[in-house]
Structure 1
Amino acid sequence: MERKEAIERMQTLKDRNLHELSLEYKVIVLNPSGKVNKGWAGHGIERFLELPINSAQSPNFAS
């Protein structure tokens, strides 16, 4: 996906609840022990943009 298209699609998220969006895309917000999955918001946005989930624990400035 090109940057321009991603920005346009993300503009449609304005005023959307990220928790509801993440649940809509079946992103795990709380794990079975009740702890928060700290990447849930990013995973929800990646699903919305139809990108593969990136769980690497490093900055993605170059990607």
Structure 2
Amino acid sequence: MRARYDDVAEAEHLESTDPVPSKRDAFVVPPWPGGRMAEWAYFAGNSLGLQPRTARAAIERELGEWG
């Protein structure tokens, strides 16, 4: 099977039949302004990756304890 990276229906089918539970909701995925998709396709190359949803509260807690 050859993968097509522009077939939205195929991507949605693969996502809906994926046996591995998604961790997507645990991260902030930036919106894609003006695009046909709600969110960016995000490939973590040489970066920190997507922001965990728990990061802001953890940082604010540490800053509060610091001073």
Same fold? TM cut 0.5:
no
TM category (shorter chain) comes to under 0.3
The structure whose Rg is larger is: 2
TM-score (normalised: structure 2): 0.23
- Structure showing the higher strand proportion among its residues: 2
